[in-house]
């Protein structure tokens, strides 16, 4: 492997822990994303006086009830993803890490997802799961970017690769295999991730992960989006349907053209 010491460090950390947490590649892009969120939220709530980035996101639960949360979240997702350069801004915040860990010819999920978890709300839980259990490719990586500081139950947990034997033993047993019973089996082994605003998390979505009720006093705001190499095997989510090429190189384009011409 012709890696630099830095590349080896990042790669080994990802393989050992199942994730890396690092400063955003492009802080200007991240701040632009956050400004767009603040503006969108202020428009939805109809009050520009609320546009205080230091307090609005963390305290959105004082403006939105749990029953209003899903429609509020979907309206934000629709608005944010309609901005033509939004996905490019997102990619800029994680580009170097993805090119190191995943590859430099990438496909990106068509839409960036948003999670909002109000304090004490049980309607936005993501029970323990691995994305590959429902048909995602094991070659995908998730770029998870917080808009606020995320810690303890205001964040997410992940099970390290060396703890997976416990999962295998659980599924081999003939007992109730609910997500809640699985979490009880592994909760002592999971790692809760501390990711501040200004940092990015890249994690292996083949590993079990999830969240529980947010018992902190602030609301969680996080974005997530899947990336993979264009040439690695796909799961149920296909290129052109779920993924779009974003960094296809000139030699690949030329080779594809040559291949098409040869078969005409």
Break the chain into its structural domains and give their ranges.
5-262
Q: pLDDT tens across 144-173, in order?
A: 999 999 999 999 999 999 998 877 777 666
Mean residue pLDDT of the chain comes to 92
> What is the rounded average pLDDT of the residues 225-251?
96
Q: pLDDT tens across 164-222, in order?
A: 887 777 766 656 567 888 888 899 999 999 999 999 999 999 999 999 999 999 999 99
> What is the rounded average pLDDT of the residues 12-29?
98
- Please give the class, per CATH, of domain 5-262: mainly beta
Percent of the chain scoring above 90 in pLDDT? 78
Q: pLDDT tens across 112-132, in order?
A: 999 999 999 998 898 999 999
Distances (CA, A) of 146 to 67, 70, 149, 171: 23, 18, 7, 32
């Amino acid at each position: 492997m012709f890696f630099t010491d830095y590349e080896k460090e990042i790669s080994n950390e990802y393989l050992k822990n199942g994730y890396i947490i690092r400063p955003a590649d492009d802080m200007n892009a991240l701040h632009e994303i956050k400004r767009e969120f603040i503006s969108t939220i202020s428009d939805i709530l109809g009050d520009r006086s609320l546009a205080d980035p230091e307090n609005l996101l963390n305290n959105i639960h004082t403006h939105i009830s749990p029953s209003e949360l899903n429609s509020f979240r979907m309206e934000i997702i629709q608005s944010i993803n309609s901005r033509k350069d939004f996905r490019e801004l997102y990619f800029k915040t994680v580009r170097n890490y993805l090119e190191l860990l995943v590859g430099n010819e990438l496909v990106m999920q068509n839409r960036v997802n948003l999670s909002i978890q109000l304090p004490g709300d049980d309607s936005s839980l993501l029970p323990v799961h691995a994305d590959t259990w429902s048909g995602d490719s094991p070659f995908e990586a998730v770029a998870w970017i917080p808009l606020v500081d995320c810690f303890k139950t205001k964040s997410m947990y992940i099970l390290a690769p060396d703890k997976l034997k416990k999962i295998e033993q659980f599924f081999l047993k003939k007992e109730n295999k609910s997500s809640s019973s699985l979490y009880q089996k592994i909760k002592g082994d999971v790692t809760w991730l501390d990711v501040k605003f200004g940092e990015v998390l890249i994690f292996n979505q083949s590993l079990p992960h999830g969240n529980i009720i947010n018992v902190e006093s602030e609301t969680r705001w996080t974005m997530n989006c899947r990336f993979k190499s264009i040439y690695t095997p796909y799961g149920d989510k296909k290129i052109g349907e779920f993924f779009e090429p974003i960094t296809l190189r000139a030699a690949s384009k030329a080779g594809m053209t040559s291949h098409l011409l040869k078969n005409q």
